[in-house]
A and B are shown apart, each in its own frame.
Chain A
Amino acid sequence: MSALAPLALVLLLAGLALGAAQIAGLRPVLGVLLPYAAFVTFLLGVCHRILVWVRAPVPFRIPTTCGQQRSLPWITPSRIENPSSTAGVVARMALEVCLFRSLLRGSRAELREGPRLVYADDRLLWLAALAFHWSLLLVVLRHLRFFLEPVPAAIRALAALDGFFQLGAPGLYATDVVLVAALGYLLWRRLANPQLRYLSLSADYFALYLLLGLAASGLLMRHVVRADVLAVKQLALGLVTLSPTVPEGVGSLALLHLLLLSTLAAYFPFSKLMHMGGIFLSPTRNLANTSRAHRHVNPWNAPVATHSYEEWEDEFRDKIRAAGLPLEKG
């Protein structure tokens, strides 16, 4: 159920886009109005969400330590897994953001006869997640050629490298293949693994379907129903130069692609996709483990009621005296 409703929703969106693309009066809605609205929502939404996070203080220094602390000079500390310096934190975060360090620890526990628990390395999730995120980044960068004129050499080189295998004409991009394969695996494991299926929400599937829809419509435009690249570029340039126009040549697939992108952008700030910004703010990863070396200040650290030594001594005075322990007030 959680998996079906979002699929229906994405298909409905696609159908609406294809239908609306046929109606001349609605083409500017798909090509200009919705993308603008989505972009503004994305921008304001993301800023708002990050502001909400940043405004909330980090009252305590709570890094999760995954290695030896820095203590005695002859014990080798884990400079990255348990950082005690800013450089260590930066390295830890870089590994986390660029290489998904924590996912790389992936393992699978299995209960066997005995009873015996055995643990096997399981890096498939790490691999699929990494492949998906990196190929998505490259695809997005490649798309910059639609929004920039002249196209920077770096983007051209990236596209050339990506199409290096020269399979078919137009050449198949390696990132497209990896992107679809990785998304496919991420969707498959959510459906095939009973525990994962049990805990997955509609939102988890919705994001996957949107991304798969984007990839599929993109691939179709490049390899099956050829899009008029010049017209699409005109549309894209018009959007970024604030002189929007929807040229004749822009086909319904391109408008569908754009609608799915607008949906994703508008949905982004309200969804789990915000982990893109959140990962940088995670206090268990972005703080050095220096809690005893440097005092961490909590802005709302308010006084609390305590039970003072004097109260304690007053209550137990006779017993303290009988035990021969020293007293503050004889």
Chain B
Amino acid sequence: MAEEAPAPAELAKVDYRPPARDWREPAVDFRRGTYCYGAAPKNLQYLGLPNPRPWQPHDADWKLPPDWKQTILAGMKDRLERFRSFRLFMDICVRCGACADKCHFYLGTGDPKNMPVLRAELMRSVYRRYFTLPGRLLGRLGGGRELTEDVLKEWFYYYHQCTECRRCSVFCPFGIDTAEVTMMGRELLTLVGCNINWILEPAANCYRTGNHLGIQPHAFKDSVDFAVDELEEMTGIRVEAPINKKGAEILYVIPSAETFGTPHYYTLLGTLLLFHAIGLDYTLSAYASEGGNFGLFTSHEVMKRLNAKIYAEARRLGVKWILGGECGHMWRVVHQYMDTMNGPADFLEEPVSPVTGTRFAQARSTKMVHICEFTADLIREGKLRVDPRRNDHWVATFHDSCNPARAMGLLEEPRFVLRSVCQRFHEMPESTIRERTFCCGSGSGLGTDENFEMRMRGGFPRANAVRHVRDRFGVNLVACICAIDKATLPPLLEYWVPGMNVAGVHELVGNALVVEGEKARTQDLRGQPLASPEAPAGA
């Protein structure tokens, strides 16, 4: 647990020298703080996944099904035939090492098996042994490795020490994407029931209730109502926040953490205020109350099952198009998978901003627009009155979340919004932002307490860059557009760079927004006093 984690000075002593032991001899030490607990059987059962049983990774006996080896190999064969990426990435790596020190887990642990190339070799060696001629003929000489229980345990350990952030793919001369290999690894592990609970519990909850925490419809409505009340207290404005409203123009899908978690909640406040200011005809949904998708961290099939509700709900409510909130991996699913898996969305219309008339042509097939695209357009077209002085108590930097940066390319929109509403903004070093951004170290479902040490190690490069801008420019706020970031950056920064704050971009939008009929704003959406209390609005 967190309180038992070694001190930062201790963790920062990373030894990058490889051990003497040959990497092909599998050996995993499930040391406290460096792995996640196994999935509870009830979660597997609810999703109908194989081999539900009580077990833990630190157990000697993993209670694998008797034919686990055939299952894995058959699953591998099946996926090699269904995914060109998988087959190709197994075949063409030249082990040049360009990716080696690009991984945050490698930088934070010094464990050579966290070099993306070697993490993939854990799988490739098995692939060669069973699926290539040299490996079948020559075994180890042909680069092959027998699939044993120890190898499987190693897969489990290291494929949950990859956050599928794709940073290595940026540097690879062939674009080999470790995220893709990790996804395959986790899919194969799922076939024999080796999942982690921090992923399967949200996935099962999401399947049943529509969101990760298992918030039921009435509780979801309570949270939203509470936000509406709070907003009125702060601004004097009573906003509408419709839920499951048929015939609204836009369905707004959020990461559910915005209804209960901080600092996510302040982003929701900012967004509700924004929608009120522009008179948007929208609805939330208690059924599609989660854009996040822990199926992405389980298997393509579970991803599809969880994602289906978004289009289904858009169709049921009869909206024209869908707007999506600040969530990283949700956008990876929406951008790269949703239309393919659950489209075509031919019952929706090409998104057009009802305020500016701007056509979002980049989303004409999925019909789903990112809130930062939407707001950037509003600001650019002069449809928002903002007073950036209301964010003068913040000196902000922007953390690019992995998925919007490397699986989408949403780089300028959030920056444009941020610069428009916040006067003091500084970028982190170029080698740590945009397509080279560093993961928070807890993405892809690894943000659980028992994994604390590993998360601190994995998040070290990000925290390091934050410290750099804190020391240099006095930065006191990391803005980001990802719900997992908002959950995991606070403890990470508390550990490495104490005193730092984390916020969503739309929280700052909400602070700066000048809304008709508001009372004089003396506090930000967190209830903190503004740096320079201002004259009443409209004065």
Chain A residues close to B by CB (< 8 Å): 5, 49, 52-62, 64-72, 74-78, 81-82, 84, 96, 100, 102-103, 105-109, 111, 114-117, 119, 125, 129, 193-204, 270-272, 274-275, 278-279, 281-285, 289-298, 300-301, 304-309, 312-313, 315-316, 319-320, 322-326, 328
A199 to B16, CA, bound (A): 13
Which residue of chain B is the closest to A61 with respect to CB atoms?
A: B336
- Say whether B37 faces chain A, with CB atoms less than 8 Å apart: no
Given that A68-B411, A117-B460 are contacting pairs, would A326 and B246 also be in contact in the complex, using a CB cutoff of 8 Å?
A: yes
Residue contact A279 to B363, C-beta cutoff 8 Å: no
Choose the segment among B51-59, B86-94, B267-275 that binds chain A (4+ C-beta atoms closer than 8 Å).
B86-94
Residues of A within 8 A of B86 (CB): 56
Any A CB within 8 A of the CB of B522: no
Q: Which residues of B contact A271 (CB under 8 A)?
A: 134
Q: Please, which residue of chain A has its CB at the minimum distance from the CB of B344?
A: A295
With known contacts A111-B107, A284-B177, A66–B208 Cβ distance under 8 A = no
Query: Interface size for chain B: under 10, 10 to 19, 20 to 34, or 35 or more residues?
Result: 35 or more
Please tell me if B100 contacts chain A, counting CB pairs below 8 Å.
Answer: yes
Bound form: Cα–Cα A77–B406 in Å: 14
- B461 engages A270 (CB within 8 Å): no
**A323 near B80 (CB under 8 angstroms)?**
no
Contacts A62-B180, A103-B173 given; indicate if A199 touches B408 (C-beta within 8 A).
no
**Which residues of chain B have C-beta atoms less than 8 A from A295's C-beta?**
339-340, 343-344, 365-366
| Bound complex: CA A5 to CA B141 (Å) | 10
Complex interface bits, B160-193 against A, C-beta within 8 A gives 1, otherwise 0: 0000001001111111110010000000000000
Q: Is the CB of A199 within 8 A of B115?
A: yes
Smallest CB gap from A273: residue in B: B94
One of A84, A100, A281, A324 near B173 (C-beta < 8 A): A100
Tell me which residues from 210 to 252 in chain B have a Cβ below 8 Å from any Cβ of chain A.
Answer: 210, 216-218, 221-222, 243-246
Is B532 an interface residue when CB atoms closer than 8 A count as contact? no
**Once the chains bind, are A201 and B217 in contact (CB under 8 Å)?**
no
Are A82 and B464 interface neighbours, CB within 8 A? no
With A74-B380, A117-B460, A319-B218 as known contacts, state yes or no: A281 contacts B406, CB within 8 Å: no
Between A and B, 14 residue pairs with Cβ closer than 8 Å are A5-B141, A56-B83, A57-B83, A58-B83, A62-B180, A65-B405, A102-B174, A109-B461, A125-B98, A199-B23, A272-B95, A282-B176, A291-B335, A298-B340
User: B297 to chain A: closest CB distance in Å?
Assistant: 16
A204 to B94, CA, bound (A): 7
Q: Which of chain A's residues has its CB closest to B403's CB?
A: A65
Residues of B within 8 A of A199 (CB): 23, 95, 97, 100, 112, 115, 117-118, 121
Known pairs A199-B115, A202-B141, A304-B301; A72 contacts B411 (CB<8 A): no
8 closest Cβ contacts across the A-B interface? Answer: A69-B409, A115-B12, A278-B92, A284-B175, A65-B409, A198-B18, A323-B218, A285-B175
Q: B365 touching A198 by the CB < 8 A rule?
A: no
Closest to A278 in B: B92
Instruction: Tell me, yes or no, whether B85 is within 8 Å of chain A by CB.
Output: yes
CA distance A145 to B337 in the complex (A): 51
Residue-wise interface mask of B (288-302) relative to A, using a CB-CB cutoff of 8 A (1 in contact, 0 not): 000000000000110
**Chain A binding surface SS class:** loop
Q: Roughly how many angstroms separate A295 CA and B346 CA in the complex, as a whole number?
A: 11
Shortest Cβ distance from B221 into A: residue = A323
Check B377 for interface membership: any CB of A closer than 8 A: yes
A293 CB contact (under 8 Å) in B118, B340, B361, B413: B361
A201 to B23, CA, bound (A): 11
Whether B207 sits at the interface, judged by CB under 8 Å, is yes
- A178 CB, min distance to chain B CBs, angstroms: 18
B285 to chain A, nearest CB (A): 9
Residue among A58, A70, A71, A328 facing the most chain B CB atoms (10 A cut-off): A71
B386, CB-defined interface residue at 8 Å: no
In the complex with contacts A105-B170, A195-B115, A198-B18, A59-B97 CB distance below 8 A: no
The answer on a CB contact under 8 Å between A203 and B166 is no
Q: What's the Cα separation between A55 and B82 when bound, in Å?
A: 9
> Could you say which residues of chain A place their CB within 8 Å of the CB of B300?
59
Whether A62 contacts B409 by the Cβ 8 Å rule is no
CA distance A309 to B311 in the complex (A): 11
Q: In angstroms, how far is the closest chain B Cβ from the Cβ of A134? A: 14
Q: B88 contacts which of A66, A82, A282, A313 (Cβ < 8 Å)?
A: A282
- Give B30-72 as 1s and 0s: 1 = Cβ < 8 Å from A's Cβ atoms: 0000000000000000001000000000000000000000000
List 13 additional contacts besides A119-B429, A119-B431, A198-B18; criterion CB under 8 Å: A72-B373, A75-B376, A75-B413, A117-B107, A195-B18, A197-B18, A199-B97, A271-B134, A272-B92, A272-B94, A278-B91, A293-B365, A300-B82
| B362 on the A face (CB < 8 A) | yes
Contact between chains at B464 and A117 (CB < 8 Å): yes
A70 B287 Cβ-Cβ under 8 A: no
Residues on the B chain within 8 Å of A115, using CB: 12, 460, 464
A67, B287: Cβ atoms closer than 8 Å: no
Taking the complex as formed, is B148 at the interface, i.e. its CB lies under 8 A from any CB of chain A?
Answer: no
Shortest B200–chain A CB gap in Å is 15
Decide: A323 and B94 in contact? CB cutoff 8 A: no
Given known A67-B411, A196-B97, A275-B174, contact A284–B85 (CB-CB < 8 A) = yes
Q: Does B286 contact A (CB under 8 A)?
A: yes
Q: How far is the CB of A296 from chain B (nearest CB, A)?
A: 5
CA distance A275 to B222 in the complex (A): 56
Chain B residues near A305: list those with CB within 8 A.
48, 305
- Residues of A near B80 (CB, < 8 A) are 56
* Least CB distance, B436 to chain A, in whole angstroms: 8
B435 touching A326, Cβ below 8 Å: no
Q: Is the CB of B18 within 8 A of A279?
A: no
* A68 to B147 alpha-carbon distance, docked (Å): 42
Q: How many Å lie between the Cα of A109 and that of B160 in the bound state?
A: 23
Beta-carbon contact of A270 and B173 below 8 Å: no
Measured CA separation A320–B221 after assembly (Å):
9
Known A59-B83, A301-B340; judge A102-B141 contact (CB<8 A). no
Q: Given the complex of chains A and B, what is the CA–CA distance between A140 and B220 in angstroms?
A: 68
> Is B74 close to A, CB under 8 A?
no
| Given A62-B180, A109-B107, A305-B305; A270-B409 close (CB under 8 Å) | no
Q: Are A297 and B340 in contact (CB under 8 A)?
A: yes
- Minimal beta-carbon separation of B280 from chain A (angstroms): 18
Q: Which one of B112, B304, B373 contacts A195 once the chains associate, using CB atoms below 8 Å?
A: B112
Q: How far is the CB of B375 from chain A (nearest CB, A)?
A: 11
The CA of A62 and the CA of B218, in the complex, are separated in Å by: 38
Q: How far is the CB of B185 from chain A (nearest CB, A)?
A: 16
Proximity bits, B427-444, A CB within 8 Å = 1, else 0: 001011011100000000
Interface: B416 (CB within 8 A): yes
Residues of B with C-beta under 8 A to A75 = 376, 412-413, 416
Please give me the residue from chain B that is nearest to A69 by CB atom: B409
Given contacts A67-B411, A204-B95, contact A72 B358 (CB under 8 A): yes
Q: Specify which of B82, B96, B100, B432 lies most central, judged by the most chain A CB atoms within 10 Å of its CB.
A: B96
The reply to whether A60 and B336 contact each other, CB–CB distance below 8 Å, is yes
Given contact pairs A202-B143, A292-B335, A78 touches B409 in the complex (Cβ within 8 A)? yes
Is A320 touching B117 in the complex (CB atoms < 8 A)? no
Chain B residues within an 8 Å CB radius of A65:
405-409, 435
**A119–B419 CA distance with the chains assembled, in angstroms:** 27
> B173 near A71 (CB under 8 angstroms)?
no
Question: Contact: B112 with A307, CB < 8 Å?
Answer: no
